[in-house]
Structures are given as structure tokens and as C-alpha cells.
Amino acid sequence: MAKPMSTQSLPNTAPPAKGGWLAVAAVTLAAFAFVTTEFLPIGLLPQITRELHLKTGIGGLMVTTTGLVAAIAAPLTTLLAGRVDRRRVLLLLSVLLMAANIVAASATGFATMLIARALLGIALGGFWAVALAAAGRLVRPEQAALATATMFAGITFATIIGVPLGTLIGSVASWRYAFLATGALVLVALIAQFFLLPRLPSDTVVKTTDFGTLLRRPSSRLSLIMMAVVIAAHFTAYTYIAPFLIERAGFDEHGITAVLLGFGVVGFIGNFVAPKAIAKDLRGSLAGTMLLLGATIFALPLLGMSHIAASADILLWGMAYGALPVALSVWVSRYAGDHPEASSALFVMTYQLAIAAGSFVGGRVVDSAGVVPALVVGGVAVVVALGLLFGFGGHKPALAY
């Protein structure tokens, strides 16, 4: 199986510290905090829009803003960082994340909330661009892939524990306390990184020509476009799942918390199973994941009147989405893996642009036509992504694995 994108041809300019795995754990905790903060509004959307007097679709701009700013921040961070010690960069970005949570928790109007989400976007895009390329440097070279996979586990656990827990805090107290609790978690991650991360000097500088080299390859461009379409499809629908469950399925806020927890748990299973399937058949695994994703999105409006049926459908949806980022990262790495930091930045940029586009399009559809049409649009976009995947017949990877 191909290694994760960020570990291929990665220059390990600093020898691994004695506590390398403790450093990996610190970065993983930071990843957990970043992803929890990014997706908190999805579970808290009804409470936030109600208190700030917003339409549901307008509230979705909290996700759109973060994704858009993160997409810009990812390549800019790699370009501006130059040879700055990556440890300093990660610490600075964690401080910015904590500030974003504090501003969000104190927001009295939507403009302030969007400022907070923009701050998050800067921190988020920069963090992933740097952390994906740096994780493997914290341990011995032969353990680099495992270190990167461990950091990705922070994303999974944020989905399983972080977002549902934030939703629970919002339902029993206030959405503001959910952001404050996440800010406290960021402080713990910041302290852990300060004491556990070794110096991470960089002997290479990412250049704009590196991005140009990757984007000039038809196979790289098509890979990124396919990824953008399927991720946008997911977030066109998933960003507004809480309003759907309230309006169409009759769930209360505690029920939504339980469903989101289930989504995260089965997503972890999908994340765990995916590498084995990918090792046998990457294209087939990615196609199967997309098919399950599209089928569950299309089916949800038909099953929404039944709590049991809707919950089961969302669990299958979670299984598909849990496997999707793993399959996409391996796929993209086969077409853009010879420029590690640049390809990491492009991956993050494309992923975040897709989140922004999906949540924005979904919001416009929700406000103009309702939640169900947004699900339909998301399902149709998955079909388009499948078409792009099967259009790869004549394209070969730029690198051999």
C-alpha cells in the first residue's frame, strides 16, 4: 500500500527526539482540538442560529468561512514559513486556535463569530500544512507512516468524542461553554507541545514553482478536482444534518448528540478498515466508499420519518465518510507525492475549499428550498465525483509505488 501522502520522500532533517512518540501524541492532541473546533457549529447550529437570530443557511457560513480561509492559509503558511523552525510555527498556530475559541465564545453578533471562524481558518490551514509534513520527522524514518496515521487518529477521535461532546455541552448549558471547553483543551495541547516537541528545523523551502509543477500534471489536477467534488458533496448535506433531524425526523438535541456520536464511532471503524481494503484495490475501495456515501445521502429524506431508519442510514453514512479521507489521501499521493510539503498544502487547500463550497451551496439551497433539496444536491455531486473517478482510465500515476 502507498504510504500516506505526507510521509513520502519527506526530508528528515532533524533526528528524532528520545520522546518522539510523546511529541506525536502532543501534535495528535492538537489535531483533535483543531478538528473539534472546526466542526462544533455543525452540532450547535440550531442553538447558535436561534440565539444570534440567523437563518439556518446563513449560520452555515461559520463552516464556509473557516474552510475558505484555511484553503488560503495552507499554501501561504508553507511559503511564508521558509526555514523557520516548524516547532515555533505549530506553537504559534495553537495560540491562534485558542484565541479563535475565546472570540467565538464571547461573540454577541454574527460578525464577531465570523471573525473568530476566520482566525480558526488561518490556524487550521497552517497547522495541517505544517503538521502533515512534520509528523514523520518526530520518529525514526521507518515509523513515519505510523506517526502520520496516529495524528490522523486525532481527527477521528474529534468526530467520535469532540463534536458530540461539544453538542452535549451546548444542549445542557450553552454553545458558548462548548467553545470555552474546547479552548481549555487547546491550552492543554499547547502546553504539551511546548514541553514535548523538539526543534524541527527545515532545510528546504517550498516555492511557488513546486505548486505549479504539481498542478501542471493532468492526473494531479483531476485527482484534486475529484476530491473537491466528493468532499463538497458530503458537506453540502452534512453541515445541515442537525436541522434535518429536528425538522423532518423529530429528534431533540440529546437525540442529535447520540446520532453524531454514532456517526463518529462508525467513522472510526471505517477509518480502521479502509487501509486494508485500499491495499488490495485502491480504485475499487474509493468507488465503493463513494457509492455508499451517495446512497446514504439520497436515502436519508426517504427514511427521515423513522428514528431507527434515519439513525441506521446516518451510521452507514459515517462508515463511508470515515474511510473517505484515507482513500483520498492515498489516491492523491500517487499523483502528487514527490513534493511533500507542497502536495500536503494542496491537499489541505483543496479539502478546505471543498468544505467551504459544500457548506455554502448547501446553505443557499436550505434557505431557498429546504433541507431535503440540499441532500439531493449533495447526492448528485457524489455521482459527479464517481464519474471523475472512472474517468481516470487513461491517467497513470506520476510516481511508481
CATH of residue 370's domain is 1.20.1250.20
Domain count for the chain, please give it.
Answer: 1
Instruction: Give the pLDDT score at 231.
Output: 96
Domain presence at residue 325: yes
Domain presence at residue 6: no
What Cα–Cα distance (Å) separates residue 179 from each residue in 26, 172, 372?
Answer: 20, 14, 29
In degrees and rounded to multiples of 5, residue 304 shows phi and psi of -65, -25
Domain presence at residue 2: no
Domain presence at residue 8: no
The tens place of each residue's pLDDT in the chain, 401 residues long, gives: 333 344 333 444 444 545 689 999 999 999 999 999 999 999 899 999 999 999 999 999 999 999 999 999 989 988 888 888 999 999 999 999 999 999 999 999 999 999 999 999 999 999 988 887 787 788 887 787 677 767 877 877 887 788 888 888 998 899 999 999 999 999 999 999 999 999 988 766 778 888 888 888 888 888 999 999 999 999 999 999 999 999 888 898 889 989 988 998 888 888 778 878 887 898 999 999 999 999 999 999 999 889 999 999 999 999 999 889 888 877 877 765 566 667 778 888 999 899 999 999 999 999 999 999 999 999 999 999 999 999 876 455 444 33
What Cα–Cα distance (Å) separates residue 335 from each residue in 256, 328, 384?
Answer: 39, 11, 20
Domain presence at residue 401: no
Instruction: List the grid coordinates of 115.
Output: 471573525
Instruction: Give the pLDDT score at 361.
Output: 96
Q: How far apart are CA 291 and CA 36, in angstroms?
A: 27
Instruction: Give the pLDDT score at 331.
Output: 84
Instruction: Give the pLDDT score at 335.
Output: 64
Q: How far apart are CA 61 and CA 51, in angstroms?
A: 16
**CB within 8 Å of 21: residues ≥ 6 apart:** 138, 139, 147
Domain presence at residue 310: yes
Instruction: Answer yes or no: are the C-beta atoms of 327 and 267 closer than 8 Å.
Output: no
Domain presence at residue 65: yes
Residue 187 structural domain: 18-394
Domain presence at residue 11: no
